[in-house]
């Protein structure tokens, strides 16, 4: 083995800080785990049955790279139902079933980003974004959204250069739980159109919107490239099913690349996806809204925070020390949360996931309040 066998690009891609927390978690006995980025409930029974039936029926081979026609049809119908205005545009738009939302993001960036192209990402950001931009040869350019985590269009404009190619946008957002308001989404979508920038909208938490209504930039700009998936809404994180829709020429290129990389999304899961589309997830949304309220009520008096309106995360400021110092003390107290610098150029905040049962959330609140009062790490 020669060190140079590892490509130079890998030195610019760090292992996810979340993995480090998960490795630490393995050393704790019965930790209070508020670090997980997936629902605490299981895949709906009807969806499991559909997957099993598909496997038994022999849907175990490759599918068309674009995805099975039934699922593409079903997803297209949903998009049309939600966005009736999109009807006239849908002919110009393509739809591709992908291996998770991550698969859609990888294909989207590799298909559109040239070496040296700048891609705007809003800080705090989903962990993958800067690395995927780097993988594609692009340059991630962060636009700070602290402390309210809403888009400031003037700040965004100031970050644009002649090399800016795309904007990567996520609402409801991981790790902040922020939901961009209608005016900001419209301003963002219109700015992208005026400046001929590709707007990529990661809508994976679309159904986890509690206060206000989810607004997609697609409402205001028919050239938006949307990536989405079933991982969070249907607790199918391990099943790797997502989809992307956008301008037909981009989707065609993404399909071409998928043919030579992922080949297709897992076949039985595409059939299960049909059942997932029929499943009403509103009870879960209501349950998570209640969990959000429970956590916020428990921490509000002790932490500086912007109340989240979606996803299943809270991103408070560390009450003392850096995000990493505070999280280290949390872990010493058997509580797993994620330091903010995993998602940000800053190390001032930390992420709590409330995708957990109420008992775990309550134990987490108890530890967090105690540590906030402690005003510093406990001496050994």
Interface residue list for ligand PMP (CB under 6 A): 37, 100-102, 126, 170, 174, 202, 204, 229, 231, 237, 242
Look at residue 74 and give its three-state secondary structure.
helix
Residue 369: CB minimum distance to ligand PMP, A: 27
Is the CB of residue 65 less than 8 Å from the CB of residue 257? no
Q: Which is nearer to ligand PMP, 72 or 240 (CB)?
A: 240
Residue 176: CB minimum distance to ligand PMP, A: 11
Query: What is the Cα–Cα distance from 59 to 68, expressed in whole angstroms?
Result: 11
Residue 130: CB minimum distance to ligand PMP, A: 13
Q: Which is nearer to ligand PMP, 232 or 371 (CB)?
A: 232
The secondary element (H helix, E strand) that includes residue 120 is strand 118-123
Residue 377: CB minimum distance to ligand PMP, A: 30
Is the CB of residue 168 less than 8 Å from the CB of residue 134? no
Q: Which is nearer to ligand PMP, 50 or 121 (CB)?
A: 121
Residue 218: CB minimum distance to ligand PMP, A: 17
Q: Which is nearer to ligand PMP, 31 or 175 (CB)?
A: 175
Residue 19: CB minimum distance to ligand PMP, A: 13
> Cα separations (Å) of 251 from 223, 244, 267, 331?
11, 8, 20, 43
Is the CB of residue 255 less than 8 Å from the CB of residue 112? no
The DSSP-derived string for 283-312 is HHHHHHHHHHHHHHHHHTTTS--PPP-BTT
CB atoms within 10 A of CB 30: 6
Sheet holding 93-98, edge to edge: 93-98, 242-247, 225-229, 198-202, 164-170, 118-123, 139-144
Q: Which is nearer to ligand PMP, 109 or 371 (CB)?
A: 109
Q: Which is nearer to ligand PMP, 237 or 333 (CB)?
A: 237
Residue in this structure with the two tokens 């510093």, named with its chain if needed: 376
Residue 201: CB minimum distance to ligand PMP, A: 11
Candidates 357, 367, 373; CA nearest to 294 is 357
Residue 141: CB minimum distance to ligand PMP, A: 18
Query: What is the Cα–Cα distance from 55 to 61, expressed in whole angstroms?
Result: 10
Q: Which is nearer to ligand PMP, 94 or 229 (CB)?
A: 229
Q: Which is nearer to ligand PMP, 102 or 306 (CB)?
A: 102
> Cα separations (Å) of 92 from 217, 222, 253, 282, 330?
17, 9, 14, 31, 51
């Amino acid at each position: 083995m020669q060190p140079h066998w590892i490509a130079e690009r890998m030195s610019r891609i760090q292992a996810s800080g979340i993995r480090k927390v998960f490795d630490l978690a393995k050393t704790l006995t019965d930790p209070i785990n508020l670090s997980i980025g997936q629902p605490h409930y299981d895949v709906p029974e009807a969806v499991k049955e559909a997957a099993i039936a598909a496997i038994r029926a022999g849907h175990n081979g490759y599918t068309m790279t674009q995805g099975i026609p039934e699922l593409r049809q079903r997803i297209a119908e949903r998009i049309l139902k939600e966005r009736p205005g999109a009807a006239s545009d849908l002919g110009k738009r393509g739809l591709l079933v992908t291996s998770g939302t991550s698969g859609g993001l990888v294909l989207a960036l590799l298909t559109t980003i040239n070496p040296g192209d700048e891609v705007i990402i809003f800080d705090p950001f989903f962990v993958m974004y800067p690395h995927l931009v780097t993988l594609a040869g692009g340059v991630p350019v962060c636009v700070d959204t602290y402390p309210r985590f809403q888009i400031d269009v003037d700040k965004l404009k100031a970050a644009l250069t002649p090399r800016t190619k795309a904007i990567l946008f996520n609402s409801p957002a991981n790790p902040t739980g922020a939901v961009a308001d209608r005016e900001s989404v419209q301003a963002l979508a219109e700015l992208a159109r005026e400046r001929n920038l590709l707007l990529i909208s990661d809508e994976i938490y679309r159904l986890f919107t509690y206060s206000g209504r989810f607004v997609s930039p697609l409402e205001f700009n028919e050239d938006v490239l949307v990536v989405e998936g079933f991982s969070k809404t249907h607790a199918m994180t391990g099943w790797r099913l997502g989809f992307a829709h956008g301008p037909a020429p981009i989707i065609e290129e993404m399909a071409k690349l998928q043919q030579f990389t992922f080949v297709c999304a897992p076949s039985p899961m595409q059939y299960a996806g049909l059942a997932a589309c029929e499943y009403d997830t509103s009870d879960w949304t209501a349950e998570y809204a209640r969990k959000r309220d429970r956590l916020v009520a428990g921490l509000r008096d002790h932490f500086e925070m912007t109340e989240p309106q979606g996803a299943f995360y809270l991103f408070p400021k560390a009450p003392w020390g850096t995000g990493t110092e505070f999280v280290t003390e949390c872990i010493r107290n058997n509580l797993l949360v994620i330091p903010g610098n995993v998602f940000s150029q800053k190390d001032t905040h930390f992420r709590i996931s409330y995708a957990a049962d109420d008992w775990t959330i309550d134990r987490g609140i108890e530890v967090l309040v105690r540590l906030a009062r402690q005003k510093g790490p406990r001496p050994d």
